[in-house]
Homo-oligomer: A and B are copies of this chain.
Amino acid sequence: MNWQMLQFDWAKARAFFATAETGSLSGAARALNLAQPTVGRQVEALEQELDVVLFERIGKKLLLTPAGLDLLEHVRTMGEAAQRISLIASGHSQTLDGPIRISAGEAVSAFLLPPILRRIRTEHPEIEITIIATGTQSDLQMREADIAIRNAQPTQNDLIARRTPDRMAGLYAKTTYLEEIGHDLAKADFIGFEGSQNMAAALTERGFAISADQFRILSEAHLVQWAYVKNGMGIGLMMNEVANADPEISRVAPDFEPAVPMWVLAHREVKTSRRVRVVYDLIVEALS
């Protein structure tokens, strides 16, 4: 075996990769948790080491040279391999002590997870939990989270998925609001996600004549929607168990009760980690 190929510093390749991907030294520095001058010097050193100009310094902008473009392709495969390494390594970790990241929607994060986290906190205080309550479904493949709770069956087949009993949801509003509009749903404002106007059709099917333009407040942030509902500004969707816990909130159109499927997901590789397994099992148990 020849080792010439290993002569150049892989850390510098990483700096180059991040710089090319983010488009700037500063961006790369943020991504790598390094200082900007460090990344700059590493890239510069790589250029000297490989005797190749990677970036064209035109003004403050960095533009990849043809050579840099050629190399980027292969550095990217290095990066993909590195990604798998960190993934698989996590799976082999058998220490309970350490961080774990859970991704879930806002409502789940705010209302369902707290008791579960409290239990984990008492039973395994050495586990450091981070909640990623992003609206967009975070990518387990890209390792933004170790465990994800989603409302749809996953399509990726390298994920371990466990379905827990469906949550039931319904339309809710503040009791005083309903009295205001005389319980006439035709007069009501609706609060929903962007694109949820087609829910109007589903309601019309059930005998409620709701038009799409009654959806006046649209937000991707479920908790924001709920805040509007609790402020008596309209009718919104919420899981029953959450809404029922609030005495000022009343149900609207009880026949309309969509089921919210719940899937607890983890990477096949990462699931073998003891820490992930413990948390995963606890979440599944608590949600069942």
Contacts and interface: CB of A to CB of B under 8 A. Distances in A.
Interface of A: 1-11, 13-14, 17-18, 21, 31-33, 50-52, 66-67, 70-71, 74-75, 77-79, 81-90, 92-93, 95, 98, 139, 142-144
A10 B13 contact: yes
Contacts of A5: 79, 82-83, 85-87, 142-143
Given A70-B92, A85-B74, A98-B51, A14 B4 contact: no
5 contacts: A50-B85, A50-B90, A52-B89, A52-B92, A77-B77
One complex includes copies of this chain to the number of 2
Nearest to A67: B92
B1 A10 contact: no
B11 A93 contact: no
Given A51-B95, A74-B88, 8 more contacts: A1-B31, A4-B143, A5-B85, A6-B18, A6-B31, A7-B33, A10-B13, A74-B84
Contacts of A144: 2, 4
Nearest to A31: B3
A10 B17 CA distance: 12
A167 to B, nearest CB: 28
Contacts of A9: 11
A101 to B, nearest CB: 9
A89 B6 contact: no
Contacts of A82: 5-6, 8, 10, 13, 74, 78
A89 B225 CA distance: 54
A205 B62 CA distance: 70
A86 B14 contact: no
Contacts of A83: 5
Contacts of A67: 88-89, 92
A285 to B, nearest CB: 25
A32 B10 contact: no
Nearest to A30: B3
A228 B88 CA distance: 59
Given A9-B11, A14-B10, A31-B3, A89 B142 contact: no
A85 B72 CA distance: 9
A107 B149 CA distance: 70
